Structure 1
């Protein structure tokens, strides 16, 4: 969730941050955020207060980013950039910074015309049909993805997913990619950039998450279970005592990279760090959610109650206040060295392969 705007009549908007919303729709005076997601008229007072104050925070960050980029002549990984990224990338600069830090810009520059050639080539009908089946299920609460919108981002989403499915035949199309590509499109407002950012995520940052076996995804869900066992043993004991598998509790967190799980602005702040620091960020987010709500989780009385509580902990002021939330993910879980994560991944992957 981003800061809220006054009700706007879509199709006639020329208001500041929402000026890119040029949707033609029968609905009028819908309260939307800067990404096109419908917002409730009545918000919790704490959420309303935060969302009213957050634009000022973004303005300060934008000024600092502008000075940084001007002084350095571009974006390169460094301790300073890492600190700036953790504090949030302004929306206007997000696509540029993501492209630079993820290596997507370099790949795009090295492959001119490749994206268009993928779209113009022979198509795999099974991939195309799977994608089209999911289009109407993608962000029904976003005015830009409705068939009545002009332009309709469903068409853009279809093109990006088709191109990627033919680029990476080992993945093709997997449910979850529609939500990820959709967010990339909302941020970049550019098909080709969205394609190369998707390539960075699926091909390099999150290898084996979206292949047929989803071994990388399953491995990381098992790794989270091991981390909870080490850092929050009472929660681990409850989950195991209920006979619950971590994949049933947190699969959507990982496969959708928290899209449709956490508020929009919070997800994008997480992705800022994901593109710069890699997949370890997902563990920090998950551990923070669980640790912050440990007592609430431990009150669960059965499997159904436990699942419901894991859904509830992704809502409310704690996750809406994204600036504080991002500070928490780097303090609450404690030390999380990459060497330890790598060892856990090797152990969990071996166990999964042995199980067949």
Structure 2
């Protein structure tokens, strides 16, 4: 589905000593998440950005450590919500995602279930479909190569296979491999990745990956309605050129911004997604569109519109993940779950009527 080769990937910075430029480039040729950087990667602007973000990360890490004090759970309250919006340090991400989303509770209630799924007789068609996509999953990530130890490709196969047996109505759908892959990069744990997948696909984004993909189609239409309300000039432009939302934002939604935005920015979005739910996806999409509406409005035709929607997901605005995440809670304005739910009902009914 995708060839994840984003030269603009940014990652959590590492403390490092001063070394000659050529040596530094060898050290930094792979980001902290295992993704290889492209040959034209801009080390200078990255260093400048990360020198500022490192201060933010250090401050957040100290605050989270004081808050958790060795606890293995987080409560859901306004303070935690505020902390999550400001970013979860990588060392606490698995704990926060698991407990805040309800995945930890599900895993504990179903002890042994994940391993039992791997021990059942496997559907040959499911196995074949998953195997077809395994080598296509993050070919630019060193952790997914067969030569790596451990190789996350095998763990990825297990998670996708278990989920396919757990939810036969979904089985396996393209895009799920990238989501499971990101979860494994962060958790480094098959079972936890499985239960986070279950929360994402079963609770936060229902019907996104079913054969009809009704949930995905519905949310694309909901974004269209939100743009009509909040960025009407862009909505009119798309109507005038007859542009369908599926041409523009299907990858944004189906892969939850993987390979659309830089790694660290995606993970900051997922921090909020696991805590606050799917409306975060609309906030991100609206911010990208609203912030770049002047550029979008210069489009002259359909291909030009599509090209501009690709361009607005690149560059320094989205690499600066901390500033970008502050914008998503300011730029779109008020966006309640009640509004999203109402629009979903309207859009769902419209899609069902059109397809019946």
- TM-score (normalised: structure 2): 0.91
Instruction: Output aligned runs, 1:331-342, within 5 Å.
Output: 331-342=330-341
In structure 2, distance between residues paired with 1:342 and 1:122: 39
Q: CA deviation at 1:30?
A: 6.3
Mapping of residues 26-105 of structure 1, within 5 Å: 31-40=29-38, 42-43=41-42, 45-70=44-69, 74-105=73-104
The answer as to 2:185 corresponding to 1:199 is no
Q: Name the structure 2 match of 1:110.
A: 109
Give the equivalent residue in structure 1 for 2:5.
Answer: none
Q: Residue 287 of structure 2 aligns with which residue?
A: 288
Instruction: Give the structure 2 partner of residue 277 of structure 1.
Output: 276
Q: State the shift of 1:48 in Å.
A: 3.0
In 1, are the aligned partners of 2:13 and 2:54 still within 8 Å (CA)?
no
CA shift, 1:148, in A, is: 2.0
- Which structure 2 residue ranges, 5 or more long, are not aligned? 1-9, 17-25
Moved over 4 A (4+): 4-7
Deviations 1:273-325 (A, max 9, x none): 00000000000000000011101111111111111111111111100000000
For residue 119 of structure 1, report the CA deviation from its aligned partner. 0.4
Aligned residue for 1:218? 217
Three-state SS of the structure 2 residue aligned to 1:208 is coil
Aligned-pair CA distance for 1:53: 2.7
Structure 1, unaligned runs of 5 or more: 8-27
**1:247 CA displacement:** 1.1
**Matched-pair contact (CA < 8 Å) for 1:47–1:321:** no
1:49 positional shift: 0.9
C-alpha offsets along residues 185-236 of structure 1, whole Å, 9 cap, x if unaligned? 0000000000000000001011111111110110000000000011111111
Contact 2:73 2:95 in 1 (8 A): no
* Corresponding residue for residue 300 of structure 2: 301
Distance 1:121 1:73, change over 3 A: closer
* Structure 1 Cα separation of the partners of residues 338 and 46 of structure 2: 38
What residue number does 1:160 align with? 159
For residues 198 and 181 of structure 1, the distance between their equivalents in structure 2, rounded to whole angstroms, comes to 7
Aligned residue in 2 for 1:2: 11
Give the whole-Å Cα distance in 2 for the aligned partners of 1:84 and 1:5. 22
The secondary structure found in structure 2 opposite 1:158 is helix
Change (3 A) 1:99 1:73: closer
Comparing 225-234 and 31-40, the one that deviates more: 31-40
Distance 1:307 1:159 in 2: 36
Deviation at 1:150, TM superposition (A): 2.0
Shift of 1:6: 9.3
- Superposed counterparts of 1:143-182, under 5 Å: 143-182=142-181
In 2, Cα distance between equivalents of 1:168 and 1:136: 23
* CA displacement, residues 133-190 of structure 1 (integer Å, 9 cap, x when unaligned): 1111111111111222222111110110000000011110011100100000000000
CA drift of 1:4 comes to 5.1
In the aligned structure 2, how far is the partner of 1:44 from the partner of 1:282?
29
How far apart, in 2, do the equivalents of 1:185 and 1:214 lie?
A: 25
RMSD: 1.7
Q: Distance in 1 between matches of 2:43 and 2:227?
A: 31
How much has 1:73 moved relative to structure 2? Answer: 7.0
Answer 1 or 2: higher relative contact order, Cα 8 Å, separation at least 6: 2
Q: Assess, with a 3 A threshold, how the Cα gap between structure 1 residues 186 and 73 changes in structure 2: closer, same or farther.
A: closer
- Residue of structure 2 in register with 1:22 after alignment: none
Change (3 A) 1:251 1:149: same
Deviation at 1:51, TM superposition (A): 1.8
Offset of residue 56 of structure 1? 2.5
The residue matched to 1:340 in structure 2 has which SS? Answer: helix
Name which of structure 1's ranges 219-228 and 125-134 shifts more when overlaid on structure 2.
125-134
User: Displacement, 1:328?
Assistant: 0.1
Q: How many angstroms apart in 1 are the aligned matches of 2:152 and 2:199?
A: 21
Give the Cα separation in 2 of the matches to 1:45 and 1:282: 31
Q: Distance in 2 between matches of 1:280 and 1:245?
A: 21
